[in-house]
Amino acid sequence: MATTILTGRELVLTIEAVDYSEQILSSTLTIESERLEFDTLTGKSYKYLQKNATLDVDFLSDWSNASGLSRALWAAMESDADASLTAVMTATSGDTFSFEILPAWPNVGGAAADGQQNSISFIVDGAITEAFA
């Protein structure tokens, strides 16, 4: 089977149904399994407990855009910091991953000659639903 190479440009991330692809530098959904390990008389045994997931997003600060991600996150935190936001990652292949994230405060500021950027690791709240094309 031929290898298909995908780049981050083949992903679209929406939060609350708004596509922020023009501001996003990278986005990664990371899922880690939490399991117990036991040494029994007959060898190792494992017990799966749960999965913990984060959505890591690096993006350009877009404070001058009234409908940009920076202002949307700020408003979400001021409104209800414990209310989940719907996120969907879609690949150009049509595969989608849908989940809820908890909002976080965006950073304000940056270095003199550099573009202002943010890096946020969002906590994924609940289940992740995948639909493979």
pLDDT band at 29 (very low <50, low <70, confident <90, very high): very high
Amino acid at 97: F
Cα gap 30→48, rounded to integer Å: 17
Residue 120: CB partners within 8 Å, gap ≥ 6? 56, 57, 59, 73, 104, 106
pLDDT tens-digit readout, 67-108: 999 999 999 999 999 999 999 999 888 899 999 999 999 999
pLDDT at site 26: 93
Cα gap 57→36, rounded to integer Å: 30
Query: Under CATH, which architecture does the 10-131 domain have?
Result: Beta Barrel (2.40)
Q: Is it the case that residue 1 has pLDDT exceeding 80?
A: no
Q: What ranges do the domains of the chain cover?
A: 10-131
pLDDT at site 5: 75
| pTM assigned to the model | 0.85
State how far the alpha carbon of 99 is from the alpha carbons of 5, 54, 95, 130, in Å. Answer: 25, 10, 14, 9
